[in-house]
Amino acid sequence: MFDYLIVGAGFAGAVIAERLASVAGKKVLVVDKRNHIGGNTYDYHDAAGILVHKYGPHIFHTNSKDVYDYLGKFTSWHPYEHRVLASVDGMLVPIPINLNTLNELYGLHLEASEVEAYLQLKSEEKAIIKTSEDVVLSKVGKDLYQKFFRGYTKKQWDLDPSELDASVTARIPVRFNRDNRYFTDTYQAMPALGYTRLFEQMLSHPNIKVMTNTDYKEIEDSIAFKKMIYTGPVDYYFDNCYGKLPYRSIEFQFRTFDTAVFQQTGTINYPNEHPYTRVTEFKYLSGQIHPKTSVVYEFPKAEGDPYYPVPRPENAELYRKYQLLTRELPDVYFTGRLATYKYYNMDQVVAQSLSLFKKIMSQEEVPLTQGIASAYPPSVNGKDS
Ligand code: FAD
Ligand code: UDP
């Protein structure tokens, strides 16, 4: 008899499995319908021996010391700050838009002190910021919106930015300085030996059994377990009873070149030309030294694996209906990007599952296998518990 059946071996499932097994002494079975652990962060060495990410580039970044320290139990880190260039008007310029972008794109000689005023002249006043279009127009105005955001967003989501929640393009800041980094989080690093090795370490506890190639619906009636943690798509759990939640998918096309370097930086975004959105060269991310190089092109599409929840009001409404159903199931916990239909980064998913673990611990009176000090991971809001 397992204490927990955990559906999904991505970050959401693996974190809760590890905590329940190693801290609460629970016996858990982790099932994943794919033939590997790691969820969408799964990486492997391709035919040339280059470490690549099967489901697109995953760059770890977080402001949470707790999340960073927690994952640091299972991996050492390779420091890496991601830098992205956008192909615009025949040039490659930094994105997020910053002082360098404006000067390079328009041939200007602005100083940092002048950028805010410059952008204010270009930007459009918006009383309410509701959509992804509002966000960008109110920060940088129409020309930059059209050059960097409109085409990319249309390709990525098959929606106009005016049809998407503000939160989507708000992920990309605008800077008045010369900081070309994609992220400014305190902790930016890659698992030194890759994500799959990190997951192997997390799931290596004797209380954890892992079963791949298995949809949980094939085994849930034949395996004895007390509670379930579910990290797959929430609509699938309920047999799509209210209809399917929209997800966006991507086709990843990999290529290997016989040269050591393919492009100038880790990722180049293509907002306007080409059917793909971006090209990522993995050796920048991993720091791997190799005479060849491998890259991935991302072609967004409607059908396929559900990678991105689509943040817009009607979808949030539909998700809320499913969420109400989840609340009627006290013995099933829903966590992760698909099960809670949230456009979460990896660190947010890790934090969500660490919080869920705390909640479960507070609900159950479980004897801890370790001292209380190590039982609870530090809280995700930076305060010690
Ligand atoms: P997943 O990783 O999707 O894991 C869920 C698992 O459940 C899957 O393995 C699936 O096979 C399994 N499953 C589903 N249904 C069933 C079933 N019925 N039975 C059994 N198993 C099932 N985040 C970052 O922080 N930085 C990045 O640079 C970044 N880049 C990204 C790039 C792309 C292209 C994508 C799609 C996402 C990116 N993310 C990034 C987000 C990151 O992938 C997620 O935050 C994280 O992987 C979510 O973890 P999860 O466990 O919730 O979901
Ligand atoms: N975006 C854009 N142009 C860019 C980069 C991003 O329009 O050059 C918009 C687009 O809508 C994208 C969103 O901002 O889906 C979030 O970008 P991010 O790079 O965070 O996407 P992810 O890495 O999650 O795919």
| One-character DSSP codes across 303-334 | SSS--EE--SHHHHHHHHHHHHHHTT-TTEEE
The pLDDT value given to residue 383: 27
Measure the CA dihedral 22/28/29/32, to 10°: -60
**Does residue 306 line the site of ligand 1, with CB under 6 A?**
no
**Does residue 300 line the site of ligand 2, with CB under 6 A?**
no
- Dist. CA 342–CA 321, nearest whole Å: 15
**Does residue 96 line the site of ligand 1, with CB under 6 A?**
no
Q: Report the separation in Å between the CA atom of 191 and the middle of ligand 1, taken as the mean of its atom positions.
A: 17
Q: Tabulate helix, strand, coil % of the chain (nearest 5).
A: 35, 20, 45
DSSP code of residue 161: G
Which residues, in sequence order, are bridge partners of residue 268?
85, 279
Q: Report the separation in Å between the CA atom of 307 and the middle of ligand 1, taken as the mean of its atom positions.
A: 7
Joined together, the tokens standing for residue 306 give 């559900």
The pLDDT value given to residue 376: 35
DSSP code of residue 150: I
The pLDDT value given to residue 377: 37
The pLDDT value given to residue 365: 64
- Selection from 385, 327, 329 nearest residue 354 by Cα: 385
**Does residue 171 line the site of ligand 2, with CB under 6 A?**
yes
Q: Report the separation in Å between the CA atom of 40 and the middle of ligand 1, taken as the mean of its atom positions.
A: 4
Take atom 10 of ligand 1 and give the residue whose Cα is closest.
8
Atom of ligand 1 minimally distant from the CA of 62 = 25
CB 315 within 8 A of CB 246: yes
Token pair 């619906």 is found at 217
Joined together, the tokens standing for residue 43 give 């990486």
Atom of ligand 2 minimally distant from the CA of 161 = 11
Q: Report the separation in Å between the CA atom of 172 and the middle of ligand 1, taken as the mean of its atom positions.
A: 21
- Selection from 73, 27, 37 nearest residue 374 by Cα: 73
Joined together, the tokens standing for residue 60 give 């770890």
Take atom 43 of ligand 1 and give the residue whose Cα is closest.
40
pLDDT tens, N- to C-terminus, the chain (385 residues): 999 999 999 999 999 999 999 999 999 999 999 999 999 999 999 999 999 999 999 999 999 999 999 999 999 999 999 999 999 999 999 999 999 999 999 999 999 999 999 999 999 999 999 999 999 999 999 999 999 999 999 999 999 999 999 999 999 999 999 999 999 999 999 999 999 999 999 999 999 999 999 999 999 999 999 999 999 999 999 999 999 999 999 999 999 999 999 999 999 999 999 999 999 999 999 999 999 999 999 999 999 999 999 999 999 999 999 999 999 999 999 999 999 999 999 999 999 999 999 999 998 865 555 443 333 333 333 322 2
- End-to-end CA distance of the chain: give it in Å, rounded: 32
Enumerate residues 6+ apart whose C-beta is below 8 A from 239.
none
**Does residue 67 line the site of ligand 2, with CB under 6 A?**
no
Mutate to test the pocket of ligand 2, among 156, 162, 184, 247 (most ligand atoms within 8 A of CB): 156
Token pair 């001292």 is found at 371
Joined together, the tokens standing for residue 38 give 């790691």
Take atom 23 of ligand 1 and give the residue whose Cα is closest.
345
Residues in the chain: 385
Take atom 7 of ligand 1 and give the residue whose Cα is closest.
8
- Dist. CA 358–CA 208, nearest whole Å: 19
Take atom 7 of ligand 2 and give the residue whose Cα is closest.
149
Which residues, in sequence order, are bridge partners of residue 79?
189
The pLDDT value given to residue 364: 81
